[in-house]
Amino acid sequence: MWSRRSKGYLLLLAAFGVMSNYLSCFVNFPLSIVTDGHYVPPPSSGHQAPIALTPLLRRQSIATEGDPIRRQIFTQPSPHLWSDIPILAPHTGQKTVLVTGAAGFIGSHVAEALLERGDVVIVVDEMNDYYDVSIKEGNLDLLREKAKKIAQQTNKMAEDILRIHVGDINNETMMRSIFDQHTPQWICHMAARAGVRPSIDNPQLYAKANFLGTMSMLEYSREYNVTNLVISSSSSVYGESESTYFSEAEDVNEPVSPYAATKRSGELLSFTYHKLYDLKITNLRFFTVYGPRGRPDMAPYKFISQVIRGGVIEQYGDGTTSRDYTYIEDIVDGVLRAIDRPYPYEIINLGKGSGTMLNEFILLVEKHVGKKANIKLMPAQPGDVPFTNADISKAKMLLGYSSKVSIEEGVRRTVLWFKNTSTEDGIA
Ligand SMILES: NC(=O)c1ccc[n+]([C@@H]2O[C@H](COP(=O)([O-])OP(=O)(O)OC[C@H]3O[C@@H](n4cnc5c(N)ncnc54)[C@H](O)[C@@H]3O)[C@@H](O)[C@H]2O)c1
């Protein structure tokens, strides 16, 4: 199917072709036409983008000033938009699930939950050094321990319920051998280069891991007749949306970072594979996930660990930026629900459904750590978005999902995890 190196370059070109197509929206024109034919004004108490607009975006704003045809804004959750989608009952019974990126934060939690409920888990992770590799090794050790315990209880061998493969999902030889060996019918694709800011410095790396990586998973899924493919997307695709509730019905062709562009490209490519080959694919847009074993480059992890250690918190912007911080347990619940339901093709938000300002988040950390934060104010960063807030009505309707962990409870549990695992020098 794939020839090796030369086709790799062709794919890379294709990736940039697709991505540049989106980016061309910035130059060519305008904001898209309102889908339901109504102009919805921005909420009066709405947020404003605190970061400077790029010249390109500024030109676009000027071009559409006073123009009633503009990107649709959603001021409230819109469950009615999804009422005509037939609801699928969950598949039950044991599955063999291939989880890519399962040494990482979200992937390792998902793999653990799958093992706990009795599924067989095949892990693929390249163990890259985007952050301390020992954290990923620790996550894999935890999965091995879990598999060992479950195997003892069920009179099985640990290797019958958990297999770990270290390598790049773009490595065709390895991936073919994994598919031939385990024939997984259910795939949870969490592997990616995450992080908005580093994607600005190294966009090629992000295109290769995220766009080409997703294309590889789509190809294998097609070839090996996979029953359901769940792909991690991101709230970052909403860019500088002015909606109060980010809706899957919203036009999202204005990604403000290469990371966001790769995620949006993956969603579109998966639509193509669904259309051409009738593959069942659900893209999940995660909203700022935090909790035990969190990613050390993310603000919640940095803030909690710095306040515990009495270090300095670098706060970008004035603290009024707001995020829909979502506790890992809720995300895992949503991912498992999506794995069990092979919808033909859907994009679904997974978030808490309400935002918290950075200032408020820091206050909660101070309260649960029991110490004042030492804050150093920094200018807002390019590529960061000012506000995220998920409309989770589609997830409620299609997956039966609801977020259960409040921000206060989530911070409390995460602080507790930090206190139980950190040493003088860092995290144990
Ligand atoms: N954490 C969040 O708040 C958040 C928000 C939105 C979207 N996401 C998405 O969710 C997914 C998981 O994120 P995370 O926070 O757990 O990140 P993470 O970095 O902890 O995990 C990603 C894992 O993928 C692996 N990986 C990367 N490229 C690979 C490749 N080519 N082949 C094999 N393995 C590879 C990495 O080694 C890593 O262990 C990612 O797709 C990310 O973009 C995360």
Q: Residue 197 corresponds to which amino acid?
A: R
pTM across the whole model: 0.86
Look-up of token digits 């940039």:
16
What residue owns the CA closest to ligand 1's atom 30? 168
Show pLDDT as tens, one digit a residue, over the chain (428 residues): 444 444 444 444 444 444 444 433 332 222 222 222 222 223 333 333 333 333 333 333 333 444 445 678 999 999 999 999 999 999 999 999 999 999 999 999 999 999 999 999 999 999 999 999 999 999 999 999 999 999 999 999 999 999 999 999 999 999 999 999 999 999 999 999 999 999 999 999 999 999 999 999 999 999 999 999 999 999 999 998 999 999 999 999 999 999 999 999 999 999 999 999 999 999 999 999 999 999 999 999 999 999 999 999 999 888 999 999 999 999 999 999 999 999 999 999 999 999 999 999 999 999 999 999 999 999 888 777 788 999 999 999 999 999 999 999 999 999 999 999 976 555 54
Our mutation pick for probing the ligand 1 site, out of 234, 257, 290, 329, counting the most ligand atoms within 8 A of Cβ, is 234
Please tell me the distance between residue 194's alpha carbon and the centre of ligand 1 in angstroms.
5
Determine which helix (DSSP H) or strand (DSSP E) holds 285, and give its type and residue range.
strand 281-286
Angle among Cα 110, 98, 289 to the nearest 5 degrees reads 30
Please tell me the distance between residue 108's alpha carbon and the centre of ligand 1 in angstroms.
10
- Alpha carbons within 13 angstroms on the beta-carbon side of residue 388 total 24
Annotated catalytic residue, options 220, 238, 245, 259? 259
Our mutation pick for probing the ligand 1 site, out of 139, 212, 214, 232, counting the most ligand atoms within 8 A of Cβ, is 232
Q: Residue 343 corresponds to which amino acid?
A: Y
- What pLDDT sits at residue 41? 29
Q: Nearest Cα to 81, choosing from 328, 395, 401? A: 395
- Residue spans of the domains in the chain: they are 5-289+330-353+396-405
Backbone angles phi, psi at 38, to 5 degrees: -115, 140
Distance of CA 259 to the CA centre of its chain: 11
- Alpha carbons within 13 angstroms on the beta-carbon side of residue 151 total 16
- Our answer on whether the CB atom of 127 is closer than 6 Å to any ligand 1 atom is yes
**Could you tell me which CATH class the domain 5-289+330-353+396-405 is placed in?**
alpha beta
Backbone angles phi, psi at 165, to 5 degrees: -120, 125
Torsion of CA 71, 76, 81, 83, to 10 degrees: 170
